[in-house]
C-alpha cells in the first residue's frame, strides 16, 4: 500500500497507521476510505491527495 500526500498542506496518509481520530483503522487502503473522509489537517477531499511512489526516498 502506498502513502498518500495532501497536495494542499503536505499531510501524509500512512495506511499502516490509518486515521484513528476519524475512525479509520490501520491497514486501510487510501482508495477504500469513505467519501466523507477529509484531510485531518486541512479538510481537503481525497481527490486532493497524490500517491507517494517512493516514500522512503522522499523522507
Ligand atoms: Zn491537507
**pLDDT tens sequence across 2-59:** 999 999 999 999 999 999 999 999 988 899 998 899 999 999 999 999 999 875 665 4
Distances (CA, A) of 47 to 8, 36, 44, 50, 57: 11, 12, 8, 8, 23
What pLDDT score does 58 carry? Answer: 53
If one looks up domain 1-29 in CATH, what number appears? 2.20.28.10
What pLDDT score does 56 carry? Answer: 62
The Cα 28–Cα 37 span in angstroms is 13
Q: How far is the CA of 37 from the centre of ligand 1 (A)?
A: 11
Q: How far is the CA of 40 from the centre of ligand 1 (A)?
A: 7
- The structural domains of the chain, with segments of one domain joined by +, span 1-29
Per-residue burial over 16-34, b = 16 or more CB atoms within 10 Å of its CB, e = otherwise: eebbeeeebeeebebeebe
Cα angle at 1 between 50 and 6, to 5 degrees? Answer: 25
Q: How far is the CA of 38 from the centre of ligand 1 (A)?
A: 8
Q: How far is the CA of 34 from the centre of ligand 1 (A)?
A: 16
Q: How far is the CA of 25 from the centre of ligand 1 (A)?
A: 19
**pTM for the predicted model, two decimal places:** 0.82
What pLDDT score does 27 carry? Answer: 84
Amino acid at each position: 500500500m502506498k502513502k498518500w500526500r495532501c497536495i494542499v498542506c503536505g499531510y501524509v496518509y500512512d495506511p499502516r497507521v490509518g486515521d484513528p481520530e476519524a475512525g479509520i483503522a490501520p491497514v486501510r487502503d487510501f482508495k477504500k476510505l469513505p467519501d466523507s473522509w477529509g484531510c485531518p489537517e486541512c479538510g481537503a477531499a481525497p481527490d486532493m491527495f497524490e500517491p507517494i511512489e517512493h516514500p522512503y526516498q522522499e523522507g
